[in-house]
Structure 1
């Protein structure tokens, strides 16, 4: 490279380099046009450019938050790996984002920690029976839903006193910290059940089997996993629709749109149906194999 040669006084400096010459500095009259153009470019970045630059779509590896205590959905094996419907969906969607399974790190993310885990960057996405709600959408961007189960109630097989959600009045209902399921019984349905706190749904299962609670009320796919091979039964009286969303850091709209495309492909290719039959085919649950209606990225 040659040493830059300064132009005559009163004119802009000119830089001469091997292979060509850079344009002259703009005259004062055109400076205003440049400022205006820069302002337009900055505004355009604010509509998506800046968000895209910080999107998880630029990452070569991703951390995915899942549950560790929900059979058939998100369960941690003794060897430290994870299995379940949510895990299979996560692997499929993340692969469509260009990240192979070998570069996915799964991390246990309890219900009470999901929003803070995303905001802090502890996880990049969450596939953990994460129901989309208006309140949560103020803190999190949601892709999907990737499945829409229904809330039902799990009781001991010997109990014939609970046949519908109304029969939970006066009963001991398990209440998981950070979950909305028990609130739908107490606050939305106005049923005066007696809540018993639990750290997670695995804890609820232990309490139900140990006669410390009378019922667990949450999504039917969660209950189906718990009931398998145990002296428990689902009362088959659903009373809500739940929308399982893919949790993303608030504002990552590019990633949200990308995961929605991936979920659509998952259903179109028959992968969603295969995953559902793999994990719930023998449970007796009525599964849905059509693409759910997306919430829209906000």
Structure 2
């Protein structure tokens, strides 16, 4: 009897351990599709928490930005009201994992559509076509675009694609890199750098935090298609999200969301709306 009891205890311990490991591996995520969860009246959406104008968790616990407005509009077209949305932070390095593990229904987080990412997740959209641009102080009239940065000091984040683009495409420009864009802004304020560079909508977001202090200048000189990431193979959810994006654009809600989030405060005109790619 003692042997049997010990055996049963050992088997039980193994079962508990396996269950715990399985739960940890999937991160407590749902095995339902975005549409299935929406039909139950709730959605979990991944966004950025630290990008002003795009995805920002405010000090009062609310969320704001263009990505947030796109996410809420899409959710509404899937039948989910704003108070039934759970926003979850989706750092760049974790976006595919959050989708694959079912921890979010979809991700709206300045998420560029790339072939490498499409091997792991599918994308609806694009809902915005971003491009690298330049942010300068409002009183700077010397820099009007990438063709005027020769001999100037331009700041970006260490190891970022925008920093690499400056090095490769504009060798006559002095590149200054920091760990964060907030340090670039400090350099811009002090005059240590003449401009800051990354995607235009991110720059507009920073400019919107201090109206009249900065401006985004020049034409975009790269192309980044921002998409909404969903589970690989979930064609039905992706189609419905694409429908919502197209309706948001055609109804004027897309333009209104852009202006309310970043356009007005940053004095930045709404760019041309993208064409949804139903690949």
Q: Do the aligned residues in 2 keep the contact of 1:272 with 1:289 (CA within 8 Å)? A: no
User: Which residue of structure 1 aligns with residue 217 of structure 2?
Assistant: 235
Higher helix share: 2
User: Which residue of structure 1 aligns with residue 236 of structure 2?
Assistant: 254
User: Which residue of structure 2 aligns with residue 287 of structure 1?
Assistant: 270
Deviation at 1:93, TM superposition (A): 0.1
Say whether 1:68 aligns with 2:49: yes
Gaps of 5+ in 1: 1-52
Q: Do the aligned residues in 2 keep the contact of 1:267 with 1:289 (CA within 8 Å)? A: no
User: Which residue of structure 2 aligns with residue 264 of structure 1?
Assistant: 246
Query: How many Å separate the matches in 2 of 1:161 and 1:271?
Result: 35
Q: Do the aligned residues in 2 keep the contact of 1:65 with 1:109 (CA within 8 Å)? A: yes
Q: Do the aligned residues in 2 keep the contact of 1:162 with 1:168 (CA within 8 Å)? A: no
Q: Do the aligned residues in 2 keep the contact of 1:141 with 1:248 (CA within 8 Å)? A: yes
User: Which residue of structure 1 aligns with residue 36 of structure 2?
Assistant: 58
Gaps of 5+ in 2: 1-30
Q: Do the aligned residues in 2 keep the contact of 1:96 with 1:262 (CA within 8 Å)? A: yes
Change (3 A) 1:211 1:190: closer
Change (3 A) 1:92 1:186: same
Change (3 A) 1:268 1:194: closer
Deviation at 1:81, TM superposition (A): 1.2
Q: Do the aligned residues in 1 keep the contact of 2:122 with 2:230 (CA within 8 Å)? A: yes
Deviation at 1:144, TM superposition (A): 0.4
- Equivalenced residues, count: 241
- Secondary structure of the 2:115 match is coil
- Secondary structure of the 1:240 match is coil
User: Which residue of structure 2 aligns with residue 216 of structure 1?
Assistant: 196
- Secondary structure of the 1:277 match is helix
Say whether 1:130 aligns with 2:128: no
**Alignment partner for residue 110 of structure 1, among 71, 91, 95?**
91
Query: How many Å separate the matches in 1 of 2:174 and 2:117?
Result: 25
Q: Do the aligned residues in 1 keep the contact of 2:72 with 2:82 (CA within 8 Å)? A: yes
Deviation at 1:263, TM superposition (A): 0.7
Q: Do the aligned residues in 2 keep the contact of 1:70 with 1:202 (CA within 8 Å)? A: no
How does 1:44-193 map onto structure 2 within 5 Å?
54-59=32-37, 60=40, 61-157=42-138, 162-165=143-146, 167=149, 171=153, 173-175=155-157, 180-187=161-168, 189=169, 191=171
Change (3 A) 1:185 1:136: farther
Change (3 A) 1:173 1:294: same
Structure 2 length-normalised TM: 0.73
Structure 1 length-normalised TM: 0.69
CA RMSD of aligned residues (A): 2.9
Q: Do the aligned residues in 2 keep the contact of 1:176 with 1:204 (CA within 8 Å)? A: no
Q: Do the aligned residues in 1 keep the contact of 2:215 with 2:267 (CA within 8 Å)? A: no
Query: How many Å separate the matches in 2 of 1:202 and 1:252?
Result: 38
Change (3 A) 1:66 1:214: farther
Q: Do the aligned residues in 2 keep the contact of 1:172 with 1:214 (CA within 8 Å)? A: yes
